[in-house]
Amino acid sequence: MNRSASEIILNLENRVTRLEKQETQSRSKKAGRGYDDNEWVFFIHEDTGLEDHRKGHREAERLRGLFESCIDQLCDKHGLSICYDDGLSKVAFKAYASIAGLGTGLWDHDHTEAEMLEKLVKQDRKCGALAEKIENLPYEFSDLNRIASEAVDLRYVHDLAKQKLSNRNVVDVQRGKDPTGREMVSISLSNGVEINYSKYHHILMTTSTGDALDIGNPPHGMMNEQMDSDIAKYSRF
């Protein structure tokens, strides 16, 4: 039986509506779910689509295993029981957070050996290199997530900041680390004010003179405008 064009279009519209509803329900269900201790890599990259990316998922699990093994070896080598007392995955997440400079870490973990392990972790090059790979996971897969692929990284921020040296209000640009160990780009202004840019996962933060502003995930095209605005604002202080 032949169907009219209007019937075909209506059927297609209904199918699209059903698919959109299913996708929304799936996202809502995932957003509200809890994470097991051994899913901490997916937790820190929750909004990037890493967990549902076939290659990304495998690589995340591989790196998690290597990082947890690195932490376990430090515990064994130095006779620490924290990995066994509190669970390796939970301790590994705290160790990663200490290295990445997140808002938590071994420094606030309730165990007598936490402080010692944090010092060891920060001194271990292998664990540090693995943590960096875990942090950069979303950027390894160009099709993974628009936010991860389009958002600026600190290398770009540093290169852009150096171009601002032509601005009479900018006297110096440095790339280093803040007190928590998180990478940071600093712009020093002629009035003594310093503008700092750092990243918390995929969120770019700018701080200066006690101010803190979450500027989200600006694409490359908007970062230049954002930096010019920051320089103009803080130059008036």
- At 28, is the pLDDT very low, low, confident or very high (cuts 50, 70, 90)? very low
The confidence score (pLDDT) of residue 198 equals 84
Domain encompassing residue 70: 37-148
219 DSSP assignment: B
> Which tokens hold the place of 114?
């936490």
Same domain, 88 and 155: no
Which residue matches tokens 């020093």?
Answer: 188
The confidence score (pLDDT) of residue 78 equals 97
Same domain, 45 and 130: yes
**In the predicted model, is pLDDT for residue 147 greater than 60?**
no
The percentage of the chain sitting over the pLDDT mark of 70, rounded to a whole number, equals: 74
Pair 99, 121: CB distance under 8 Å:
yes
Residue 116 lies in a domain: yes
Same domain, 140 and 156: no
Residue type, 28: S
Same domain, 90 and 47: yes
> Domain boundary residue among 148, 183, 215?
148
Residue 171 lies in a domain: yes
> Which DSSP string corresponds to 154-211?
HHHHHHHHHHGGGSTTEEEEEEEE-TTS-EEEEEEETTS-EEEEEEETTEEEEEETTE
Residue 26 lies in a domain: no
Q: What is the pLDDT of residues 103-132, one digit of tens each?
A: 789 999 999 999 999 999 999 999 999 999
The confidence score (pLDDT) of residue 15 equals 53
Question: In the predicted model, what is the mean pLDDT of the chain?
Answer: 80
Same domain, 97 and 155: no
The confidence score (pLDDT) of residue 90 equals 96
Q: pLDDT: is 7 or 93 the higher one? A: 93
Q: What is the pLDDT of residues 149-174, one digit of tens each?
A: 455 678 888 888 999 998 999 999 99
- At 203, is the pLDDT very low, low, confident or very high (cuts 50, 70, 90)? low
Burial class (CB in 10 A: 0-12, 13-18, 19+), 96: buried
> Domain boundary residue among 116, 148, 180?
148
The confidence score (pLDDT) of residue 225 equals 83
Same domain, 165 and 128: no
pTM, full prediction: 0.55
Residue 15 lies in a domain: no
E-strand ranges in the chain read: 170-177, 183-189, 194-200, 203-208, 211-214
Pair 175, 184: CB distance under 8 Å:
yes
